[in-house]
Structures are given as C-alpha cells and as structure tokens.
Amino acid sequence: MLYSSILKPIFFKLDPETAHHLIVDGFHTAGKIPGVNSMMHAMYGVTEAPELAVDLFGIHFPHPVGLAAGLDKNAKAIDTFSSIGFGFAEVGTVTPKGQSGNEQPRLFRLPPDEALINRMGFNNEGTEAMARQLQRRQVHRIPVAVNIGKNKVTANELAHEDYRSCIKVLYPHGDFFVVNISSPNTPDLRALQHGDELRTLLGEVLLEVQAQAARAGAAPKPVLVKIAPDMTDEQLELTVATIMESGVSGIIATNTTVSREGLTHRNASETGGLSGLPLRERSTEVIRAVYRQTEGKLPIIGSGGIFTASDAYDKIRAGASLVEIYTSLIYKGPGVLRELTNGLKERLRKDGYRNISEAVGADHR
C-alpha cells in the first residue's frame, strides 16, 4: 500500500534511470543504518514455509522467487534486497572493467503494457568494485548469484578471457554464477549463444571454476547460462544441446526480448530489451521447450513477465525449478513477493502437492 499509493507515483514522475539509482542508492545508504534491514524484513519479509523451500545445485533456497539481474548491477544494495522477501538474488551483470554503458536515455517505461525497455549496455563499476561490496555483506538470508558478462570493447573471440576474469575475482563471493550471453544491448553478444563460440566459452568458464574450487579445497560452484527468447526453434535446440554437453548446472530462460508484438505505448519504438508482461508467454514457451529437450535433467530458472502467482506457477509447471522477477517489482513494489509466495502455496494445496518441487514440469506428465 505504501509503495502503490505514495512511492510509485513519485518514482514514476521521475526519469526511469533516475528512479532506478534513487532506489538502489537509497537501499545502499539505508542498509548501513543499524536496524534498517531488520525493519525492512519485518515489513516485507516472507515467512519461511517448508512447502516452498527448494534445494537445488547443493544450495538451499527458502522459496523459489528471486530477483533477476539488472537491478543491483554492482551489489551495492544486496543486504536490503536480501531483507525484503526474495528467495535468492542475482547481482550484475558485471564486467571485468567498469564501463559507462550506452548513452542516455536508455531506460523506458511502458505503463499500459506493464513493461520496460532498456538499452543500458552493461553499465557497471567492474569486478573489483563488486567484490568489495560483496565482502561487506552483513545479511546472509538468501543465496546470491553473480551474473557475468564481457566488456563492450572485447572481441567475441576473446570473450572467454573476460568471463574467466570475472570468475577469478568474484568466485569467493557468489553462491552461483550466471553466464550472460543473451543481452541485446552489447553488440554481437548474442552470437556467443551458438556453435563453437558457445562451446569454447563454457569450457573456459568451467575450467576457471574448477581451478578456483581446487584452490579453495571445495566442490565447484554452480554455473548457469542465461539465454534469449528470440531464437528460432532450431537455434534454441542447438543452443540447449551445446549447453547440456558443456556440463554446466542449469539454464535461465529468458533474458529480455527485441520483439515489440502487441505493445501500445509510444516507447515501443525505442531500441533495447523488452521486459515485463509482454514477455510472459514467450518465456514460458522457452522453458517448456528446454524442459522437454533436456527431459527435465537440467534445472531451469524461469524469468520474464511474472506479475502474479499464476504466472510463476505456469513457469514452474512448464519446467522451472526457480523463478525471477524484476519488472513486476518496479510496477507493484516489494509487496509482490508475499503475493507471489502466498499464491504459490494456495496453488500447491489445490493441486495436492506437498512441496513446490513436485510441481516442476507437471505439465509434461
């Protein structure tokens, strides 16, 4: 109520990127004040429920709804995001060297479509800055994933060096890692999703993970790959086959889309990646296709257009073990997390499942 009646009208009068930084920087500053994160947890935290707990990749998730990458690009506000009800959070995308990203304006709201378009271009402060932020973490309620990418100036044939560099610096600080090869806002990045380039990239990333794990004397941490929603059926099948062969731990489906089908707002003409409600059906289709091709053997995190518990549950029944939100948080505020988790519990009871994991892939049975 506080968000929808007071804060959202204020934020939506501001330029979207200004509002974005106001939220992240505000969380960063407020989180340093003793007691604030505990207060945020009391206001917005989700009560743990055994039926929603997920154990995946050797990691415990208190519930399946996480924060997608792109909001906390530098892990500046991870303590506060860990306190408002998420089951896990992705930080990043981070690149080895800090970069300014694309020219502004580069973030646009489409309120009638409940969508966002961004062409941020991996703006971030670099791996060393993120490592410092993650070292300062005080709140450890949830797992944290680090989403990694390549610098804009790095040629695709050398991309693996950037991804290895990210792992090398940030390995001690993430619970798992996400290889981002699917943003539409870095030139030629999506070409890394296909063929030998993808095979080489993932092989190099896993070599670095194994080297860091050996140095730490522990099992290697999980690596997932984030894919685009805009591939043809044939491209998707080939990409998923390569990912399966690589030995990574899972897939995130999907990133933002370049499609503009069905949009009504004037900002539809802006270039960049579209997120939010218009992506809902396509991302679920991709989840269903990936689950079918992998026979449910490669875990999927579903992302794209989740605004209601039904949206989340549809992705879970299609094959997602976990789900992520971003745009619905902007439109609905942190109260959406209780709405989603309470709704998921209701749907489990209705379908007779004792745990959310029993519903994963239910549409295929």
pLDDT digits (tens, 9 = 90+) for 264-323: 999 999 999 999 999 999 999 999 999 999 999 999 999 999 999 999 999 999 999 999
Topology classification of domain 2-364? TIM Barrel (3.20.20)
The model's confidence at residue 193, banded by pLDDT at 50, 70 and 90, is confident
DSSP assignment letter at 47: P
Count of Cβ atoms closer than 10 Å to residue 103 Cβ: 8
> Which residues are known catalytic residues?
183
d(C-alpha 317, C-alpha 295), whole Å: 14
pLDDT value of residue 1: 64
Domain boundaries, the chain: 2-364
d(C-alpha 140, C-alpha 20), whole Å: 24
Q: Across-strand partners of 223?
A: 177
Q: What is the DSSP string of 174-240?
A: -SEEEEE---TTSTTGGGGGSHHHHHHHHHHHHHHHHHHHHHHTSPPPPEEEEE-S---HHHHHHHH
- Once rounded to an integer, what is the mean pLDDT over residues 124-143? 97
d(C-alpha 353, C-alpha 219), whole Å: 32
pLDDT per residue as tens digits for the range 241-269: 999 999 999 999 999 999 999 999 999 99
Distance of CA 113 to the CA centre of its chain: 21
| HSE-up of residue 208 (Cα within 13 Å, Cβ side) | 21
